[in-house]
Structure formats: structure tokens, C-alpha cells
Amino acid sequence: MPGPWADLGYEGEADTIVVAFKKPKNEKLGGIQQQFNRAHNRLRAVGERGNSLLKTTFKALRNISLCPWKIGDIVAAALVILHINHQRTT
């Protein structure tokens, strides 16, 4: 699986991340492109939901400006606490 899945705001970075197909002006996307976009959106929705749940549960994560690589440990700890609170093991 190629790099991270991103929204159309990153369409110029298609070499490093996976973005959905953008609808051409006055045209429709092909069937394969529509299927890809649906699959892309389903995968991104899981991450977006997780991000939203973490940010609404832990106020400290809302306006943090650390490097994304450095915040990983903090988010991992928050995720463990969230799983314990919701009695989940996976």
C-alpha cells in the first residue's frame, strides 16, 4: 500500500501520498475512478473518526503544534487511555 491517504488539498503530491481523483470540469469520473474514490474515502473516514475522537476526548490535542513525528508517543498514550475507558482491547 502506498503512502498516507490524503484529501484533495494534497493533489499535487500524488507521488508521495494517495489522493482521490478530482472530477474534471464539465465531465464525470469513470467507473473505476469512482470506485477508487469510494474506497479511498472509506479508508480515510476511519482515520478522521479516530482523530476526532482523540481531539474531543483530550483537549490538549486540539491545538498542539509539535512535529507530527514527535507527537506520536503522546497520541499513542492517549489512545491507550481511550481504549481503557471504552473497555476495548484492540
Query: What local confidence, expressed as pLDDT, does residue 67 receive?
Result: 80
- pLDDT tens by residue, 12-33: 666 667 778 888 888 998 899 9
Query: What local confidence, expressed as pLDDT, does residue 53 receive?
Result: 85
User: Do both 87 and 49 map to the same domain?
Assistant: no
**Which residue range(s) make up the domain with 68?**
61-90
Tell me which residue of 33, 35, 39, 4 sits closest to 18, measured CA to CA.
4
Report d(CA 89, CA 24) in Å as an integer.
44
User: Do both 36 and 65 map to the same domain?
Assistant: no
Query: What local confidence, expressed as pLDDT, does residue 4 receive?
Result: 67
Q: 6: pLDDT confidence band, cut at 50, 70 and 90?
A: low
Query: What local confidence, expressed as pLDDT, does residue 35 receive?
Result: 93
Report d(CA 53, CA 49) in Å as an integer.
6
* Torsional sign, CA 51, 54, 60, 62: positive
User: Do both 37 and 16 map to the same domain?
Assistant: yes
User: Do both 52 and 78 map to the same domain?
Assistant: no
Q: Is the pLDDT of residue 64 over 60?
A: yes
What type of residue sits at position 56?
T
User: Do both 6 and 38 map to the same domain?
Assistant: yes
